[in-house]
Structure 1
């Protein structure tokens, strides 16, 4: 420490500019020497005007330190704590660099924690909205890598307040993709499907990445709760000419055409899924298993006008009570149109023509009224 500080004092005595300090910096390579250098620089009598560009160069210089970079940057941030207000911009750069080190080591939560320590709203330095969005998006991405969806959502909400001010197309793309990933992790699969599909159509996204987004959309669509809303997104995906390239297309086609899913195809599809997409739910079944059962029930409802619960259970390979509960829940939620006769042990499905829930019927009536109003308007003559 003494030799480094003495040399800094010698440089200071000649009333130099930042260049003289930087030249000396480039002669150092040992971690201990660099840490001593950082401690000495913030104390130079030339003041912050000279020290700021020197410290900025110091952070950049650490890129060539390989294994020692983490140690030096941690020590530098500790040094800067003493004068954070004076060297906020330099601390910002050091945190970005340390987060990069952790990201390269796949220590994503550590990277996020370092970025969370940034003072983005202090007012001492001018940080643009684009820079803030970039930091928030990066934190979200790091937390999602370690499946901390709750923490990621907190920072995504902060980002949402600024994204409309952002002029960086790349950050807007990352923001939307992060939204999709959070919906996916939270098992809000319909919302995730819409976001992924939106990204698959985004021209700012690379062609290969668009196809990956389309693949992600097809996975979450298949895992979504069976019913009219899912059928809508399935239609969009199935009619997209790119979908035939996807490894999920066979299952996607069976769902779109309301055919009972082949178990071998389901098994192959399961191998493509992420761990959270295969996690057990509260009722002891996986998301995939539930989605398959519900879809197959819808497929059965299009073949049979009525069927006994034991027959349903036998066709789908499920327990009798599970068949009863699943059908009852789908009817209650408006995703399956029918009624249950518990005395006879049968379920009666409504015809396809009447297979509309209350909301859908209301929308149909509104369309009819709108058409009548439009027809009446055409017949009106002004004299």
Structure 2
């Protein structure tokens, strides 16, 4: 309830005996007095009664609009608690009259959102901004202004990991015919898109977006490295296959990769080396909750990604291997998984079916045969003796290279070559 002095002053201003032309000055004088003399909860109550009065039936829209502008200016400088109490009441009251006071409604909602955001109530801040009318015949809102507003809203939702609500505003921006020209807004859009793709477990796409952010001009070096780390993490979590191999290669060849903590696991992934359970445990400590969430088969996203990678790595080491032996190598039996061999077989079968692993499975004998793509003399791909053929090819290549070097030395230094032949 308003203080007695404020209630009395408002009653006098609203009186029919008070000339209309003097009311704006009287209202502004009373507003200044309220702001300077009232405090705490009483300040909020006095401002709410004042707001109700200037939106009353005895004040025309022509008079109330400039009074609202002054009210909004004063409200900006008040404590967050007052902004929230008064702002909530104000935007609720304006809903029935927002068509004629859209600009004032927009400004009040921005003040309310600022206060909520400072209090870390991000969902309330986003909802306050959602009430701003951007498609109106009485107020022109440019596409650039819409983009700025929607990016702020989706970033607020992302602060609370509400990716569903955030994605709806991301799609609104995508559907606009106007492209984002402001470099800062474009960067925020890319980062928000990466975070949403990451949360949706579309890790390959998220890795690309994070990598793009890490290359952006005008971004602090620490922020760029943080984006690069996020790109590496998403690439590691992505399903094994040619697409991920290309993503890993792009990240591994970046000169900055060696300066981030995730380089060790990136290198093992890129070079198709087996990753140990200890390395997986250390890496998992750096992940976000959604990145270590369990999948339908009870394993985490990281467990699945590492298992698929280690299957590919094993295909580089072995021509064939029994599924139970491979499960032991992959560390599944150590974790007490009694169905380890079946699990390895199921993963391998799915990867072969999807073209992410070359080979075949003998389910009767429980053996996986890997196909490296190297053919034998008969032209049969993946035939027995692959490692021996690769070794022979390597020795032959080294011998040919040594012979070329020796010939080059003989051509450059004939006298030295002749003296060596004498000895």
TM class by shorter chain equals: 0.7 to 0.9
Task: Report the Cα offset of residue 119 of structure 1.
Answer: 1.6
The answer (yes or no) to whether the contact 2:80–2:115 under 8 Å persists in 1 is: no
**What's the counterpart of residue 33 of structure 2?**
27
**What's the counterpart of residue 10 of structure 2?**
5
**What's the counterpart of residue 168 of structure 2?**
154
CA distance in structure 2 between the aligned counterparts of 1:55 and 1:333, rounded to whole angstroms? 64
**What's the counterpart of residue 324 of structure 1?**
345
CA distance in structure 1 between the aligned counterparts of 2:373 and 2:157, rounded to whole angstroms? 45
Tell me the alpha carbon deviations over residues 321-380 of structure 1, each in whole angstroms, 9 at most, x when there is no partner. 11011101111111111111112211111115589xxxxxxxxxxxxxxxxxxxxxxxxx
Q: Map of 1:211-226 to 2, 5 A cutoff?
A: 211-226=225-240
Match of 2:356 among 330, 335, 339: 335
Tell me the alpha carbon deviations over residues 253-295 of structure 1, each in whole angstroms, 9 at most, x when there is no partner. 1111111113322222111111010101111000011111111
| Segment drifting more, 36-45 vs 314-323 | 36-45
Query: Secondary structure at the residue paired with 2:86?
Result: helix
Count of aligned pairs = 355
Task: Report the Cα offset of residue 16 of structure 1.
Answer: 5.3
Match of 2:56 among 43, 55, 69: 43
**What's the counterpart of residue 358 of structure 1?**
none
The structure number with the bigger radius of gyration is 2
CA distance in structure 1 between the aligned counterparts of 2:262 and 2:126, rounded to whole angstroms? 33
- Runs of at least 5 residues in structure 2 that lack an aligned partner in the other structure: 36-42, 333-339, 376-380, 382-423
Query: Secondary structure at the residue paired with 1:302?
Result: helix
Distance 1:215 1:85, change over 3 A: same
Task: Report the Cα offset of residue 225 of structure 1.
Answer: 0.6
CA distance in structure 1 between the aligned counterparts of 2:60 and 2:222, rounded to whole angstroms? 51
The answer (yes or no) to whether the contact 1:73–1:94 under 8 Å persists in 2 is: yes
- Runs of at least 5 residues in structure 1 that lack an aligned partner in the other structure: 356-383
The answer (yes or no) to whether the contact 1:250–1:265 under 8 Å persists in 2 is: no
Distance 1:75 1:190, change over 3 A: same
The answer (yes or no) to whether the contact 1:306–1:346 under 8 Å persists in 2 is: yes
The answer (yes or no) to whether the contact 1:133–1:163 under 8 Å persists in 2 is: no
**What's the counterpart of residue 328 of structure 2?**
314
Task: Report the Cα offset of residue 163 of structure 1.
Answer: 7.0
Q: Map of 1:36-115 to 2, 5 A cutoff?
A: 36-43=49-56, 47-63=60-76, 64-115=78-129
The answer (yes or no) to whether the contact 1:96–1:115 under 8 Å persists in 2 is: yes
Is 1:230–2:240 an aligned residue pair?
no
Tell me the alpha carbon deviations over residues 34-73 of structure 1, each in whole angstroms, 9 at most, x when there is no partner. 1111112223866434433432342342232232221110
Task: Report the Cα offset of residue 130 of structure 1.
Answer: 1.4
CA distance in structure 1 between the aligned counterparts of 2:97 and 2:361, rounded to whole angstroms? 72
The answer (yes or no) to whether the contact 2:275–2:306 under 8 Å persists in 1 is: yes
Task: Report the Cα offset of residue 18 of structure 1.
Answer: 6.4
The answer (yes or no) to whether the contact 2:24–2:67 under 8 Å persists in 1 is: yes
Is 1:351–2:365 an aligned residue pair?
no
The answer (yes or no) to whether the contact 2:13–2:26 under 8 Å persists in 1 is: no
TM-score for the superposition, normalised by structure 1: 0.86
Match of 1:255 among 258, 269, 290: 269
Is 1:185–2:199 an aligned residue pair?
yes
When the two chains are superposed, the root-mean-square deviation of aligned CA atoms in Å is 2.3
Task: Report the Cα offset of residue 124 of structure 1.
Answer: 1.7
CA distance in structure 1 between the aligned counterparts of 2:183 and 2:62, rounded to whole angstroms? 34
CA distance in structure 2 between the aligned counterparts of 1:178 and 1:286, rounded to whole angstroms? 24
Distance 1:131 1:344, change over 3 A: same
**What's the counterpart of residue 299 of structure 1?**
313
Distance 1:265 1:58, change over 3 A: farther
